[in-house]
Every structure is written in C-alpha cells, then in structure tokens.
C-alpha cells in the first residue's frame, strides 16, 4: 500500500530524505502543466519546477499540514513562476510561445463512447491549445480547476486571492475560452 503524503513527509523529517523522490514523482507532471501554462515556455517551466521542488524540500519543516501538501506545493510552484515572469519583465524579454507544449495526461478525457480515442485526443489538444492563447491568469485558473482538479478554496490558497476573485476569473476564463473555441471551430469549418 502506497504511503500518504503525510507519511512520506514524516519519513523525510526523520532522515529518510530519499523518500522525497516519491513526492517529486507524484507531483512533477501536474506541476509542469501549471508552469508551462503560466510561463508559455517548456525550458523555463522545467527550470522553474526544479527550483520549486528545491524550495519545497528546504521548507518542508515549515509545512504544518493545515492544508494538503499538493495545495502547499502548487502555491510554491505558482510563486516561483511569478518570480520567473517578474525576471522576464525586468529583462524586457517578450513571452516566448513555443510550438510544442506539455499537455499532460488526457486519460480522464477518454471516456467518450461516441468519439474514437484519436478524436478525443485531438479535441483535448485543440482545447488545451485554445487555453494556451488565453491571458496567463485565465489559463492558470482553468488549469488548476480542470486539470489539477483543485477546489475554489485550494485555488485561493495557491493564488492568494479571495474566493470571489477565483470564481470571477474562472467565469471570465470559461467565457473567453468558449469565444476562442467558437472562432477556431468556425475557421476550421470554413477551411473544410
């Protein structure tokens, strides 16, 4: 039976530092998805995730367990990404949109009996590409809510904003996404 995050953390605190690899394995994909959404650059996201894991490890003694480890860790990832974005602004660099993105796991999207697996994958990639075109705050909140499956309160903790702001951003993000998807579908049907 796998150990819970709390048990793993307790083992690390007792000196079994090699158990930190289990936490990394558990959270690296979702953390990478969040970082890529915010930074729009895979190389920066990889560097930022490494930094976030180091920061989390160094601050593990400060983790009190009042919230889930995932919420606490995603807050570190979020702040590390904000720091990276701040560095970019200071250096007057423009955001770099790469052609290839990390779109994470899509297993939970493949439960349709109407569409083939390939059609479902294409649809998910299509939606995720549309999310990538949204402003960072909207793409981030959609990623946290739908792909990380976090609650409004957990997102509040990560983004350090009130629940009303989370709900408003989520509402606006959905509206923008719907608008972008409608445009894309319209353009796609015109070319077919």
Q: Examine the domain organization and report whether 12 and 67 are in the same domain.
A: yes
127 and 90 within one domain? no
Shared domain for 72 and 157, answered yes or no, is: no
Q: Which of 35, 70, 95 is the last residue of a domain?
A: 95
- Among residues 125, 164, 170, 159, the alpha carbon closest in space to that of 34 is found at 159
pLDDT per position as a tens digit, 158-168: 888 899 999 99
90 and 2 in a common domain: yes
Residues 33 and 73 occupy one common structural domain: yes
Picking from 95, 130, 147, the residue at the C-terminal end of a domain is: 95
CATH code of residue 37: 1.10.1740.10
* Residue 51: per-residue pLDDT: 92
Q: What is the mean pLDDT of residues 136-155?
A: 86
Q: Which of 11-25, 44-58, 107-121 has the lowest mean pLDDT?
A: 107-121
CB 82 within 8 A of CB 113: no
Percent helix / strand / coil, the chain, rounded to 5: 75, 0, 25
62 and 129, same domain (yes or no): no
Number of domains comprising the chain: 2
Same domain (yes/no): 114, 136 = yes
pLDDT of residue 192: 58
| Residue 183 confidence (pLDDT) | 80
Considering the domain architecture, whether residues 84 and 114 belong to the same structural domain is answered as no
Give tens-digit pLDDT for 56-114.
999 998 888 888 999 999 999 999 988 888 776 665 433 343 333 444 444 444 444 44
Please, which pLDDT band fits residue 178 given cuts at 50, 70 and 90?
confident
Give the whole-number percent of the chain exceeding pLDDT 70: 78
- Residue 98, pLDDT score: 39
Give the closest residue to 136 by CA, choosing from 162, 169, 110. 169
174 and 116 inside one domain: yes
pLDDT for res 112: 41
Together in a domain, 29 and 89: yes
Distance CA 85, CA 90 (A): 9
Range of the domain at 37: 1-95
Q: Are residues 38 and 117 in the same domain?
A: no
What CATH number is attached to the domain comprising 161?
A: 1.10.10.10
- Domain stop point among 37, 72, 95: 95
């Amino acid at each position: 039976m796998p150990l819970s995050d709390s048990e793993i953390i307790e083992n690390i605190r007792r000196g079994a530092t090699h158990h930190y690899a289990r936490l990394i394995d558990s959270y690296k994909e979702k953390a990478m998805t969040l970082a890529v959404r915010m930074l729009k650059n895979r190389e920066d996201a990889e560097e930022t995730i490494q930094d976030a894991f180091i920061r989390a490890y160094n601050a593990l003694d400060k983790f009190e367990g009042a919230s889930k480890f995932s919420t606490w860790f995603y807050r570190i990832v979020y702040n590390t990404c904000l720091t990276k974005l701040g560095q970019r602004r200071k250096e007057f660099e423009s955001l770099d949109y790469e052609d290839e993105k990390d779109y994470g796991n899509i297993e939970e999207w493949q439960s349709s009996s109407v569409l083939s697996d390939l059609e479902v994958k294409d649809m998910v990639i299509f939606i995720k590409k549309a999310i990538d075109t949204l402003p960072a705050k909207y793409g981030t909140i959609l990623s946290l809510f739908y792909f990380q499956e976090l609650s409004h309160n957990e997102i509040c903790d990560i983004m350090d904003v009130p629940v009303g702001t989370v709900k408003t951003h989520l509402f606006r993000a959905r509206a923008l996404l719907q608008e972008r998807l409608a445009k894309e579908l319209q353009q796609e049907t015109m070319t077919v």
